[in-house]
Amino acid sequence: MKETLARANGDPLKMVLDPSQFPVMSKAFDQYRVHGYGARTVRVKNRNYVTITANLPVGTDSWVLLLVAPEDDFSRFAMADGRQNLLFSILVVLMASGLGFLLFLQARRGERMHRQIEQAHAVANYESHALQSVAAYPELFNPEDNALILTEALADQSLARRAAIWRILHDGHTLMCIDSYDRQQDVHSGGFEMATTDLKSFFDSVSHGDALVIASAADDDRTSAFYRVYM
């Protein structure tokens, strides 16, 4: 452009675009002279260019604003914008999947808690019914009655094969079975006795009044003798 300005001696009326040096601008200007203002596409040396011509009112003179840019610039911008949109879409999908997975876990947890609550209610209702049955037994506090309903309720509540009520006689050395209920055979038995000398480990363990939690009565030293005799 400096050479063009020098050849015209600074006179705008003598300034002419040289097609050999400015082929794109020259072709864009020719398009303007033929078609007037507007946006168009010109092709020079196998490359497309976007041209925009518009009126530029400045003072009393009429100026024409001519903008030229390679079409690739716009396409690259569109491609970059498309890649960015794709990344955002993938991010949104991942976030939605994560939230969906968390909601799924929360739903499973809610279902599990709901089942546990229902089971707890069922157990509470069953225990309440069993307690009411025991409380309604008319001879419950009669010392001469064996109150067989107690061992039945104990076996049912604990799901044990057998439940029994024992008491130590006045001599302090004899253990007597008041009632023993076998849940599988649905039979009651009782009246048999055991000497504390034969079950010393067992009596030493229960003499404090604490409950024993034993996984295998046959293998535990505290209950193995009682297991062999009674079970």
Q: For 30-65, what is each residue's pLDDT tens digit?
A: 888 888 888 888 888 888 888 888 887 776 667 888
Widest CA span in the chain: 140
pLDDT for 1: 59
**Checking phi first, is residue 164 left (phi over 0); if not, alpha (psi -120 to 50) or beta?**
beta
Closest CA to 25 of 6, 42, 46, 4: 42
Domain that holds residue 57: 2-71
43, 71, 99 - which closes a domain: 71
The bridge status of strand 61-70 relative to strand 47-58 is: antiparallel
For the stretch 56-104, pLDDT in tens is: 777 666 788 888 888 777 666 666 667 778 888 888 888 998 888 999 9
For the stretch 150-180, pLDDT in tens is: 888 888 887 888 888 888 888 777 888 888 8
Report the predicted TM-score, pTM, of the whole model to 2 decimal places: 0.42
Let me know if residue 83 belongs to a domain. no
d(CA 67, CA 28): 9
pLDDT for 171: 78
51, 71, 91 - which closes a domain: 71
55, 71, 87 - which closes a domain: 71
- Structural domains of the chain, count: 2
Let me know if residue 141 belongs to a domain. no
d(CA 195, CA 197): 5
